[in-house]
Structures are given as structure tokens and as C-alpha cells.
Amino acid sequence: MKVQKITLREIRMPLVTPFETSFGRLTDRRMLLVEAEAGGVAGWGESVAGEGPFYAPETVETAWLILRDFIWPALKGREFRSAFDVWEMLASIRGHNMAKGALEAALWDAEAKQKEIPLWKLLGGVRKEIPCGVSIGIKETVDDLIAAVEREMAAGYQRIKIKIKPGKDIEPVERLRQKFPEIRLMVDANSAYRLEDWPHLKRLDAYYLMMIEQPLGWDDLYSHAELQRKLDTPICLDECIHTEEHARAAIELGACRIINIKLGRVGGYTPARRIHDLCKSKQIPVWCGGMLESGIGRAHNIALSTLENFSLPGDVTASRRYWAEDVIEPEVTVTPQGTIRVPEGPGIGYVPRLERIEKLTARKEVLS
Ligand code: OSB
Ligand code: MG
């Protein structure tokens, strides 16, 4: 395989409804799309870096810079066996996983398209239908939250995750449990608490949550291990896990019992699969996280979710939950049973709508 050229595009899309987490409120999304031309096909990837360095250190700007000045020069003109090798070719660049992951994923898509098979098959996926959950942002009132949960349950989603932060945690969870005693419910704090808050977090044990996601510091495995010893509720790590080594340390320390895998956070399919395999061997279930992606990133999350140990519903949802109109054809839809049927077409299995993408493009750079 050899990459002839890559095109970076920044697209902007307004969210259907604002999304609030403990680290901020988002109304519009800026996304960096990578199109890679290799051997007569075009592979597509999406960087999940945010507008600011609040979920993770990377931003749209840093991902653009690293892709242009370091990642592209490391691949340009080089012959390699398959997309599997890209991660290793980029090993001298430390961090910047979201930038790496965008191009790496685009090359997996390209390879599957060259071979005329679905990407999920190239990856070794086993699932034809993936179970879906939703992530619901922090709401003004608990009544708003209840209404949102009712809507998503009616749409079929198999589990509900709500975002929490200090002051908006116990009460909403308690009210949701009164109203919906049977649903699969979990919370995500996006690092809003400190270890000293453990007696407060301990109160969540009363509500038999599936898990509490990333309660403590974004890079603090040690405190999560302390906290997990005090809680009955399983901790799931998101922000903390950027590498296979972090995953290994987290598991060995007892810092979590579940791991959320995001392609961008770990730098692409090769590291994502390694973390998946490690977790499988340690009986740690994983699920696929979401980053408010456009259809391109969404399609990749679907492919990743077909791997065997993605046994819990992920944050992989219909295009319509976030976008009035997506950038792929067809859009991602969810069955009344709360599943997504995995596409059978080549590569990611959804076709990028070039005309629409061009219209949404705020800036573009072609590198060859
Ligand atoms: O922590 O999983 C998270 C969105 C932006 C940044 C971080 C997170 C999220 C979500 C949204 O929870 C998941 C989705 O894309 O539906
Ligand atoms: Mg999270």
C-alpha cells in the first residue's frame, strides 16, 4: 500500500440540540475529516479532537498541524504492507492519538475498499448487528432529563447514560430510578470529581448503575484504583486510557472493571484492537464510546463495535440524534430493538456525500 495524497477538511455542523458535559456546553461541532487516496480508492477518517483541549489535550488545530507537519511526512512515498502497519510507522510521534487515528482509520477504510470487503470483516469483526445505548447531556431540570430518557427508550435504545457533575448527580439518578426502575442506566462524570468525594459517589451504589464512567482525573489511574475499592458500582475508564499500557496498568491496579474504547483516543484500529484483545483476555468487557461524530466517525465506530468483546451497548447512535442532515449516504439508523445493522458494502459501508461535505468545508488542504 502507498498513499498518493491526503486531503484535510474542516467541516462545521450545528448540533440538533446543545450537548452539555461537566467540562462544557457545545452547540456547534468543528470536525477534521481526512480523505486518503491509495491505489485508486479513497479512504475516509475523522479526527475526534474537540474545539478546545477540555476532554483531551488535542484540538482541531493541533490535529491539523500534526497531520500536516509530522504524520503525512512520515507516510509520504512509503510502501507498506497494510493499514495494520501504519500505527508502527507513526510510533516516533508521541501522543496526538486523535490526529493519528483519523488517518490510520482512513487507511483501513482504503484497504478494505481495495479488497472490496466491508471494513468490519477486514478487522475480524463477528457481529452483524451492534447493541446501542445513548449518552444524554446535562439538562436544566430533572423533568427535562426524564423527558429525554423517555424519548430515547421509545426509540429503542438499550441503555441510558447520563452526564453528571457535582450538584447534578444524586438527585437526577434517584428520580430516574424511581421513574424507570428497570432500565440499564449508567453515569459519566468526565473527571468532575476528586478522590475526597468518595463518600458522595458511594451514594450512587444505591441505584444499581451498570457503571460510573471516568469519575476522577483524566490521567489519574491510581486514584481510580482507590475509588474502585470503595465502590460496589463498576468504574469504567474513558479519558484515562490512551494506550495499551494504560489499559494494562488500569486492569492490574484494579482501577476499573470496564473500559470504553474510542478509536481517536487510542490512535486508531491497531491500538484499539490490541486493547480490545487485552481486555478480552482479562475478562474486562469493553464498549465503543462516541465523540459526537459526523457520519464518517460514526461509521468507523460501527465497524469497531463488531469485535467480539464489544459486549456492552456503546454510545453509537443514529445520525438524526445529532445532525439535521449527515454527511454520509445512507444515514445511520437504529432499529426499534436498539441495534444498528452493520453494513455489507466495501470499507466503512456508508458513502461520503462529497457535495455536502464541500459545502460544509470551512478550510481544506491537499497534501501530496
Ligand atoms: O465522555 O463519552 C464522553 C461526547 C464528547 C466528549 C466526551 C464524551 C461524549 C459523549 C457523547 O458522551 C457520546 C456520543 O457521541 O453520543
Ligand atoms: Mg466518557
Q: What is the mean pLDDT of residues 325-344?
A: 98
Chain-centre distance for alpha carbon 230: 28
Yes or no: say if 241 and 214 are a contact pair by the CB < 8 Å rule: no
Query: Concatenated DSSP letters for 273-310?
Result: HHHHHHHHHTT--EEE---S--HHHHHHHHHHTTSTT-
Q: Which amino acid is at 258?
A: I
Q: What is the mean pLDDT of residues 23-44?
A: 97
User: In the structure, what pLDDT confidence band is assigned to residue 228 with cuts at 50, 70 and 90?
Assistant: very high
User: In the structure, what pLDDT confidence band is assigned to residue 8 with cuts at 50, 70 and 90?
Assistant: very high
Q: pTM for the full model?
A: 0.97
| Catalytic site includes residue 262 | yes
Q: Which amino acid is at 346?
A: P
**DSSP at 68:** I
Q: What is the mean pLDDT of residues 134-151?
A: 98
Ligand 2: centre distance to CA 109 (Å): 25
Instruction: Specify the ligand 1 atom closest to the Cα of 291.
Output: 15
Ligand 2: centre distance to CA 237 (Å): 8
Would you state the pLDDT for residue 237? 98
> Is the CB of 292 within 6 Å of ligand 1?
yes
Pairwise CA distance, residues 105 & 270, whole Å: 9
Q: Which residues contact 335 (CB under 8 A, 6 or more apart)?
A: 129, 156, 341
Task: State pLDDT tens for residues 309-319.
Answer: 999 999 999 99
Q: What is the mean pLDDT of residues 63-86?
A: 98
User: In the structure, what pLDDT confidence band is assigned to residue 234 with cuts at 50, 70 and 90?
Assistant: very high
Secondary structure class of 312 (helix, strand, coil): coil
Residue 35 phi, psi (nearest 5) = -110, 125
**Which is nearest to 161 in space by CA: 184, 181, 190, 192?**
184
**Which is nearest to 6 in space by CA: 34, 46, 25?**
34
Yes or no: say if 83 and 111 are a contact pair by the CB < 8 Å rule: yes
Instruction: Specify the ligand 1 atom closest to the Cα of 317.
Output: 16
Task: State pLDDT tens for residues 269-312.
Answer: 999 999 999 999 999 999 999 999 999 999 999 999 999 999 99
Looking at 163, 168, 202, 359, which residue is catalytic? 163
Looking at 262, 280, 282, 359, which residue is catalytic? 262
Q: What is the mean pLDDT of residues 211-216?
A: 98
Q: What is the mean pLDDT of the chain?
A: 98
Instruction: For residue 239, give the C-alpha cell.
Output: 479519558
Yes or no: say if 239 and 214 are a contact pair by the CB < 8 Å rule: yes
Residue 314 phi, psi (nearest 5) = -95, 180
> Is the CB of 315 within 6 Å of ligand 1?
yes
User: In the structure, what pLDDT confidence band is assigned to residue 111 with cuts at 50, 70 and 90?
Assistant: very high
Pairwise CA distance, residues 113 & 130, whole Å: 22
